[in-house]
A = this chain, B = another copy of it.
């Protein structure tokens, strides 16, 4: 059970039929997680790769005093502990919504990567893109206003969800609370709430009940100083 995995890989590299078949043949036990459950925890040294089949997840570190920083989001088709192949986890990955996750044994993944260099390349590219995203978040947290940061995050998630076909019309399911948003952007909930109202007030987007609607993509991009090139996707959603 590898769900959207092949499609995600093909966003980042060309695969042969044999490659695709090998990926599809990957073994994996599926487990469902409820929102808020840890998919993998800080300190774990995983022996399987956790592939997100459906739902969203986020990586985060939580400090003793409760301050939390979300460091990235995962969408379906992504492996959320790829680094676990080589290192112990230094942070946790938690389900943002209900999520189905396939557990692929490291041995099977290693065999796939050894036998299929194009798959390995594509997979490492996904990892490199994840870093590129992290760097862009640093730019936001270091140098952009709360207003631009929030707009930028919505742009990013909209573009990523669109790339995997999860945007319909101008709407996508993005079940994030304002608390998560704050923790991802390094803001207080109160401030996040106020800025969000400004974004809505300007007619750029709607965001209620976990549903994001982009009313003015150009305007939102401008507000967020968003340029999709760091996502290394084949096509920018105009």
Contact = CB atoms under 8 A, between A and B. Distances in A.
Interface of A: 59, 61, 63, 67-69, 71, 83, 86-88, 90-91, 121, 124-125, 127-132, 134-139, 141-143, 183-186, 225, 229-230, 232
A69 B230 CA distance: 15
B232 A143 contact: no
A110 to B, nearest CB: 10
Given A185-B142, A186-B141, A129 B87 contact: yes
Copies of chain A in the complex: 2
B130 A67 contact: no
10 contacts: A61-B135, A69-B143, A71-B138, A86-B121, A87-B129, A87-B232, A127-B128, A131-B131, A131-B134, A141-B186
A185 B183 CA distance: 18
A78 B91 CA distance: 24
Contacts of A135: 59, 61, 71, 90-91, 134
Contacts of A71: 135, 138-139
B86 A128 contact: yes
A154 to B, nearest CB: 17
Contacts of A131: 83, 127, 130-131, 134
A134 B128 contact: no
